[in-house]
Structure 1
Amino acid sequence: MMPELGKYAEAVLSSYAVSIVLLVALVAMSVMRARRVRAELDEVEKRIRRNG
């Protein structure tokens, strides 16, 4: 069910591919940062509990 793109098919499809790759990269970076921040917050909470 792909529309006929004619002579612009390569440009359109490559633009879609680049966009998808960038979106996946942004999601992956966000997840990695969230995990790192959560680990840092857990460490701070442990220190606070130990020191009172």
Structure 2
Amino acid sequence: MPDLGKYADAVLSSYAVSLGLIVALVVLSILRARKVRSALEEVEARVKKDG
């Protein structure tokens, strides 16, 4: 690991916050995709039943 000197705390905390935000966005995207897929399957089942 490179020597970050007096900025080590700021740099490492920025990396941690960035990584946390990326993980949160991925998790939220996956959860949203599941919800949308479920709703789409429900609509498709309703259309097939009525059609």
**Superposed CA offset, 1:8-43 (max 9, x none):** 000000000000000000000000000000000000
Alignment gaps of 5+ in structure 2: none
Q: Distance in 2 between matches of 1:20 and 1:8?
A: 18
Q: TM-score, normalised by structure 2?
A: 0.98
Give me the CA root mean square deviation. 0.3
Q: Tell me the percent identity.
A: 65
Quote the residue 1:27 is aligned against.
26
Q: TM-score, normalised by structure 1?
A: 0.96
Quote the residue 2:38 is aligned against.
39
2:3 is the alignment partner of 1:4? yes
Runs of 4+ in 1 over 2 A off after TM superposition: none
Alignment gaps of 5+ in structure 1: none
